[in-house]
Amino acid sequence: MNIVTPARLGHVHISLEEADKLHLLHPKSVVAFQGSPQHREDRLMNLARIYHKRKMIQSQFQGPSELVIGLPAGCSLEVVEIDEKSNLLFDLRHVMFFTEGMTMKSIVQKLKNAWITKELTRMRFTGPGRLGIITSGDMMTIQLQPDKPLFVEAGALISYPGTASIRLSVYGNKLASQHMNVQWELRGSGPVLIQTGSRDAELEAQLQDGGLIKRILREVLPFGSVYIK
């Protein structure tokens, strides 16, 4: 199986050999398929997947065939290798596809973690195999350290080890803690996967709204917002 994710082009090209099978959890993202029509089979998801993805259909593709998957603007896709000992718990909304032979199990979280994450269950994949992870911006892996907490903005967390301890937190001095989004404080060992797309709406607005001098002139001059673009 060959998976190509061209930089900044907004799509993924997947080539399947005759023995390959791919399970796609976002069937409507397929923009092109080349192969025998019988090599796509859509199925109803089980109840756990329906709950997590708010969708009812998943697709299975087999080779020999090729498909092109379109990605939303500003999103990218990373392929993650999963071994048979993986204990990563995933937000299923970020999983685009997984390869044949992998098992997926719904893991009931500890009551405290479920209250913090607002998710009673998370998904654990067991390999060997590969996951296609869709993210806002790029994906980054950070290793947890037992003696040093990791703070992650709540909306950026994709996956974390099932053995990690989690609590809601902020950090820094009083002013810093008053002007940040809710953070997840994680401790333990193992990899944490995050998406790095900017969540600072004010920053985006400023970047689209011109420089500092222009913004000041718009506010100071009569009808500045009309004449200064």
Q: What confidence category does residue 205 fall into, taking pLDDT thresholds of 50, 70 and 90?
A: low
* pLDDT the model gives residue 128: 92
- As a whole number, mean pLDDT of residues 118-139 equals 86
Q: Two tokens at 147?
A: 């003696």
State the pLDDT at residue 3: 80
Closest to 124 (Cα-Cα) out of 179, 85, 174: 85
What is the pLDDT at residue 226? 45
pLDDT value at residue 121: 75
pTM score, two decimals?
A: 0.76
Proportion of the chain in helix, strand, coil states, percent, rounded to 5: 25, 45, 30
Helix/strand/coil for 3: strand
Q: Give exposure, 65-89, as e/b (b: 16+ Cβ within 10 Å).
A: bebebebeeebbbbbbebeeebebb
CA distance 84 to 172: 39
Q: Tens digits of per-residue pLDDT, 60-90?
A: 999 899 999 999 888 889 999 999 989 999 9
Structure tokens at 75: 């999103």
Q: Which pLDDT tens digit goes with each residue over 28-55?
A: 999 999 999 999 999 887 655 554 555 6
Higher-confidence residue: 16 or 213?
16
Task: Look at residue 210 and tell me whether its pLDDT is greater than 90.
Answer: no
